[in-house]
Amino acid sequence: MAQVTRRTMGENVELLTLDELTTRVGMSVRNVRFYTTKGLVPPPIRRGRSGYYSADHVARLELVQELQAHGFTLSAIERYVAGIPADASPEDIALHRTMLAPWQADSPVEMSRSDLDKRAGRTLGDDDLATLAALRIVARTPRGRYEVAVSQLSVGLGLLDLGFPTEAALAAADVYAQHGRQIAKELNELFRTMVWPAYKESGAPPEQLREVVERLKPLSIASLVAAYEAAMDETRRENIERRTR
């Protein structure tokens, strides 16, 4: 495989042909050209009549693939990519990919309605599904199937057996979503301004940051649970003190 290099700021930068690029990212020529016309990746670097692609093209196409895997529509991907500076380095773009990766180890399992009923051991009604959806255990896909958090399904079914109100599940989901978004924004800002600069300055590759985040995920989740439990204990004590006054 022939590779071309160009000298930029004293460094040799690997350039790929279109065929090499498609092999590297596992994407068709048609899709690469389509995403280029949409502005999701910059045009190829011209060398005479030939076009070449750099690590920046690779990083941006991999980001598009990551966003697609998370169910982003094309318009949503365009909005997301528009928020990334044009001069962002491949390492900066890798940080975006790192933060997009799921924080829970268990991925949802897609199944049909009948498969879901079999897994539940019962026929689930519309109200049951609404409650499980509010609890983020079941989500309906555009194709009419269901993504199921299998490890949490038994917990949800137990709540259904106890008559947990759908309205309460929906209200709780709103609370989790509101505060979850705020936590996500603050953690993302922390990684962007404190964690990534430290690793970037040390010359560490993006893969090392990804490994750090992967190792940090279970600790972060455990810390959130511990903080929640501590807050609940404090709230309970405050309620008891208020009643005894």
> Average pLDDT by consecutive 10-residue portion of the chain (245 residues)?
41 79 93 94 90 92 88 87 85 76 68 93 92 90 89 90 88 84 81 80 76 75 82 85 79
One-letter amino acid for residue 225 of the chain: V
**pLDDT for position 22:** 94
The order of strands in the sheet holding 109-111 is 109-111, 146-148, 138-140
**pLDDT for position 19:** 93
**pLDDT for position 2:** 42
Residue 87 structure tokens = 């001069």
Beta bridge partners of 47: 50
Q: How far apart are the C-alpha atoms of 15 and 17, rounded to whole Å?
A: 7
Quick count: other Cβ atoms within 10 Å of Cβ 43?
11
First-to-last CA distance in the chain? 80
Residues 6+ apart with CB under 8 A from 152: 135, 137
- 181-213 burial, b for 16+ CB within 10 Å, e for fewer? eeeeeebeeebeeebbeebbeeeeebeebbebb
Q: What is the pLDDT of residues 148-188, one digit of tens each?
A: 988 889 999 999 999 988 888 888 888 888 888 788 788 87
pTM of the complete model: 0.53
**pLDDT for position 103:** 61
Contact 128, 147 (CB under 8 A): no
**pLDDT for position 180:** 80
**pLDDT for position 105:** 53
